[in-house]
Structure 1
């Protein structure tokens, strides 16, 4: 697999973080459009709870500190979120509890898992911390 994500897992963390944040905010911002795509929910509180947790995971991935510790944090969180959502999609769509459109999400989650598996833990370069510090100024 070629690409920036394989050689720069921080970019992968930011991309998945943005995806998770957007997915979490969607039902909070417009529950009507979310349910038009993914079907009505019996428990709105549960829908909002999952949305909040997904948004939180996205923010953590987007703000993970530079360097190997931040990448490890983003990887663990990203794999955990993607595996959980994929499992739910694969169990509850065939059972008829979730609409088939959740399989589209399942495909995306499988893609995030594959990307993290393929991503290398790039050894930090000596100037990584300084580059981040300069970008904050």
Structure 2
């Protein structure tokens, strides 16, 4: 569970930072990642990343079925890794994205490790856990 909590912190904060960055200072974001013609698209992806990062972080503070965190964390890393490798290798976006691609691969490998090693520790809530009887 320690690896799970650490990954939630690291990936959640990482996504939150890279999501907020182009929203608050697009000029510095483009200095690092290259010029963009569709600023609205960069900011849209950033805005969509905020709830992903916050949701991953929320699993640190709530007691619930944690299996959706596996799905969100692993598939977000897979999606970003695909974009981060596919488009730079086709000269569509800057090669700096490959660095982020390797970060995403590390996240994906860690989620895989947790799945193999610790997934059995997570139990689904009982079907009546959310039914209130008076």
TM over 0.5, shorter chain: yes
Is the 1:14–1:62 Cα contact (8 Å) retained in structure 2? yes
Of residues 14, 18, 23, the one that matches 1:23 is 18
Q: Do the aligned partners of residues 19 and 13 (structure 1) sit closer, same or farther apart at CA in structure 2, a change above 3 Å counting?
A: same
> How far apart in 2 are the matches of 1:43 and 1:116?
32
User: What's the secondary structure of 1:93's corresponding residue?
Assistant: helix
Is the 1:10–1:66 Cα contact (8 Å) retained in structure 2? no
**What stretches of structure 2 of length at least 5 have no aligned partner?**
123-134
> How far apart in 1 are the matches of 2:121 and 2:67?
12
- Equivalenced residue count is 117
Mapping of residues 1-137 of structure 1, within 5 Å: 4-5=2-3, 9-64=4-59, 65-67=62-64, 69=65, 71-119=66-114, 120-121=118-119, 123=121
Q: Cα RMSD (Å) of the superposition? A: 1.7
**What stretches of structure 1 of length at least 5 have no aligned partner?**
125-137
Instruction: For CA contacts below 8 A with separation 6 or more, give which structure has more relative contact order.
Output: 1
TM-score calculated relative to the size of structure 1: 0.79
> How far apart in 1 are the matches of 2:48 and 2:70?
17
TM-score calculated relative to the size of structure 2: 0.80
